[in-house]
A and B are shown apart, each in its own frame.
Chain A
Amino acid sequence: GESVGLHLPTLSVQEGDNSIINCAYSNSASDYFIWYKQESGKGPQFIIDIRSNMDKRQGQRVTVLLNKTVKHLSLQIAATQPGDSAVYFCAERGGGFKTIFGAGTRLFVKA
């Protein structure tokens, strides 16, 4: 029979609207955080990163916010497009070089 899999949170947005994807991280010693986008049949693709000495970083159409007090990370996508539909993962790196991934959020963009 089928095994129970991870139930990915899903965010559904209208094309042109802004998207906000949230992530809670676990290790207070983590000092580097990364957002990845994964499309079907492909590996995770780097979007944007931020170090723990910053609380905001902007890229092209994307912004990452870091709140170390509550161990929270968010990814904002401006003017969401159908091509943004994918699974988004936050990842953290603490002592050593291990990058640990969250469970992911599925973003669905309605045309």
Chain B
Amino acid sequence: DAGVIQSPRHEVTEMGQEVTLRCKPISGHNSLFWYRQTMMRGLELLIYFNNNVPIDDSGMPEDRFSAKMPNASFSTLKIQPSEPRDSAVYFCASSLLGQTNSPLHFGNGTRLTVT
């Protein structure tokens, strides 16, 4: 089975540039989550979608961050303009919420470096 697929695996960009991270959730899952992992703050939830609708974006750090889920099989996280403090590993996860036990299934992340 294909798990959660994220691209690119690594992204290096200069401050001020736009960055777009992509995620394909597990087929049949109805929820998608974007997390950011840093040494300083650990794993932070940025935003999550249920049935393609954003439910909670309270973790999105600033207006420079935006996320979309145009359909059940694709989501993007965009940072515009990027800043060095955005450097982190960004994870996408999906789940089948509504079941009794529904853990998150994570992709392998995108390591973002902003210089």
Contacts and interface: CB of A to CB of B under 8 A. Distances in A.
B12 interface: no
Contact of A41 (B40, B42, B108): B108
Nearest to B48: A97
Interface residues of B, number: 28
A49 B40 contact: no
A51 B100 CA distance: 9
Contacts of A89: 43
Contacts of B35: 101
B25 interface: no
A111 interface: no
Interface stretch (A2-10, A16-24, A63-71, A78-86): A2-10
B105 A46 contact: yes
Given A96-B56, A97-B48, A44 B43 contact: yes
Q: Please provide the 8 A-B residue pairs with the shortest distance between their CB atoms, ordered closest to farther.
A: A5-B39, A43-B106, A101-B43, A46-B103, A34-B103, A44-B106, A43-B108, A97-B97
9 contacts: A6-B39, A6-B42, A36-B103, A43-B4, A43-B109, A46-B103, A49-B101, A96-B55, A98-B48
Interface of B: 4, 31, 33, 35, 38-43, 45, 48, 50, 55-56, 91, 93, 95, 97, 100-101, 103-109
Interface of A: 3-6, 32, 34, 36, 41-46, 49, 51, 89, 91, 96-104
